[in-house]
Amino acid sequence: MSQQVLDALAAKHADSIEGTATLFGDEVVYVKREKLLALAKVLRDDPAFAFDAPVFVTCTDFLHWDHGAAPIGVALDRTADGDATYRYEVSYQLRSTTKRHRLRLKVRLTEADPKLPSLAPLWTGFDWQERETFDLYGITFEGHPDLRRIYLYDEFIGHPLRKDYPKEKRQPLVRRDDLPVVGVRKGELK
């Protein structure tokens, strides 16, 4: 559907991308982290691309993923850092209302350095979604105008949608003084 976009990117901006793929009918381009901002600017401003509508930002945590046997995605031999293993994959979905095509940008990040440039200055619609990704996955968006938690309270420690966050760990703000002990899970009260 948007194969011509992928072809144009591969032809003109080969130094900014690591690979392209078509997954389940969606065109995906794997972008080098340090080239993300420049490439996004081209995608927005070049009349041949004209991506004017931000759709979503999200992240995938590949903590327990067997990269060798990965059935989806492109097997890349390195990440933005030249590292063989990556943990996070941040996805930006873009859409063009005039050209009627769409594209997904993916940036792969290592566990040690979960940072990438923010696209909120280019598309305002990414502002709160990047905050959400920061809140739940702990991805730092550099250059974001107001990067702080959006759903959880400031007292919350950690990022709950990371795969290594304990599934049922709660961080209560307030509890009764006379709380009945029966039925309360061990270690839940502090």
**What's the closest the beta carbon of residue 58 comes to other proteins, in angstroms?**
18
Using CB under 8 A as the binding rule, whether residue 182 contacts other proteins is answered as no
Smallest separation (angstroms) from other proteins to the CB of 18: 33
* Least distance to other proteins, CB of residue 90, Å: 21
Secondary structure, 3-state, the chain? CCHHHHHHHHHHCCCCEEEEEEECCEEEEEECHHHHHHHHHHHHHCCCCCCCEEEEEEEEECCCCCHHHCCCCCCCCCCCCCCCCCCEEEEEEEECCCCCCEEEEEEEECCCCCEEECCCCCCCCHHHHHHHHHHHHCCEEECCCCCCCCCCCCCCCCCCCCCCCCCCCCCCCCCCCCCCCCCCCCCCCC
Choose which of 66, 68, 153, 190 interacts with other proteins (CB under 8 A).
153
- Shorter beta-carbon distance to other proteins: residue 22 or 171: 171
Told to check if 181 binds other proteins by CB under 8 A, we report no
Check binding of 169 to other proteins (CB under 8 A): yes
